[in-house]
Amino acid sequence: MAGIAQDARACCVHIRSRSPLQHLLDRAIQCFRRFRLNASRSKPRPLGRRGALGAAVLLAAPGVRAQPVWPDGSVRFIGIFPPGGGTEILSRIWCQKMAEITGQQFIVENRSGSGGVVGTEAIARAAPDGRTIGLASISALAIAPTLYRKLPYRVPEDFTLIAGLWQLPNLLVINKDVPATTVPELIALVRANPGKFSYASSGSGTSVHLSGAMFAQLAGLDMVHVPYRGGAPAQLDLLAGRVHMIFDNIPQAMAEARDGKVRALAVTGNHRAPQAPDIPAMQEFLPGFDITSWGGVLGPAGMPPAIVERIQALSLRALSDPWLKTKYDENGAEVWPATGAELAKYRADNAAALAPVVRASGAQVD
């Protein structure tokens, strides 16, 4: 009881004047003291009406707050790319584990288009109550601000960057009928046939697009960029021979390469991927080549800090789960347990590094 009385006194520091509320708080403290004294002499007695009222005021006083309950119902997770692509698969794995941890449904809603801009705008316009969150991506948050003349949202002002989820390099794969088995052979082939080879992407401004643009810039190649609404349709046209190559997210591209449907030549990170150690890094042929895709949890601006911290904590728990780590590894991704602050800094640094590549590519979207 001494602890309760001390807590009650601590609450009083928030009240500067002798108001009726202050008198009620003092009355609550007196009631608790009498209760403690009576308890030491005889059986406990009820606090009475004034004591109960004082206790209620105590609980409502500043500084006495309940822990946030999140989620208190189903959560809508906005995926910004079409179903079947690598980032969509990784998002669903995380949502499945979060549903298991929280006991609530995590419903993935795909809102694709414009390299992730359509879905990201939907996240920005959602109510900041934690019931709608979505995917933070390199394309919509780090590349689009330079690529687009005008975006339907402001970065970072219209968002709450909540937590990191994964990092993964892209993988250069070519149609199996292209007569090249290494990056140097491909460079020589494309250089000898300017304007005749094309590379697909999951949309203008995606990391897939920028990987192809950087390849062309550093190798001095003339290639045609063919954007699609997501990685899955781009892969279909690659298999059909309508385009010659793609620097796709490693999960989908690696699956096609293992099945012998395409030929894998290099990863876009600054080192070889643990999931494919026999495939060289593009930097081994073109020094300075380094593009790594990433994903995180994104919410609209104005989310309560307590809810943001709660999502961060639960996400960290999900990312530390052995099942999720195995699933990410199988899909070529590395778990990235970044905090919201770390994600925000990484995004800003990434945007600054990629802006020159976007400008040099000549790509611009109205």
Q: Show the low-confidence residues of the chain (pLDDT under 70).
A: 1-68
For residue 10, the model assigns a pLDDT of: 39
For residue 30, the model assigns a pLDDT of: 52
For residue 330, the model assigns a pLDDT of: 86
Same domain, residue pair 132 and 191: no
In a domain, 329, yes or no: yes
In a domain, 187, yes or no: yes
- The tens digit of pLDDT for each residue in 123-175 reads 999 999 999 999 999 999 999 999 999 999 999 999 999 999 999 889 999 99
Residue 272, amino acid: R
CATH code, domain with 120: 3.40.190.150
For residue 64, the model assigns a pLDDT of: 42
In a domain, 68, yes or no: no
* CA angle, residues 108, 109, 114, in degrees to nearest 5: 125
Same domain, residue pair 20 and 159: no
Tokens at 286, concatenated: 């073109």
For residue 204, the model assigns a pLDDT of: 81
- The tens digit of pLDDT for each residue in 238-271 reads 999 999 999 998 877 888 898 999 999 999 988 8
HSE-CB of 179 using CA atoms within 13 angstroms: 4
- The length of the chain in residues reads 366
User: Number of folded domains in the chain?
Assistant: 3
Same domain, residue pair 155 and 173: no
Same domain, residue pair 263 and 184: yes
Same domain, residue pair 243 and 225: yes
Contacts of 174 (CB under 8 A, 6+ apart): 180, 186, 244, 245, 262, 263, 265
For residue 68, the model assigns a pLDDT of: 63
In a domain, 290, yes or no: no
Range of the domain at 44: 2-60
pTM of the shown model: 0.73
Same domain, residue pair 89 and 12: no
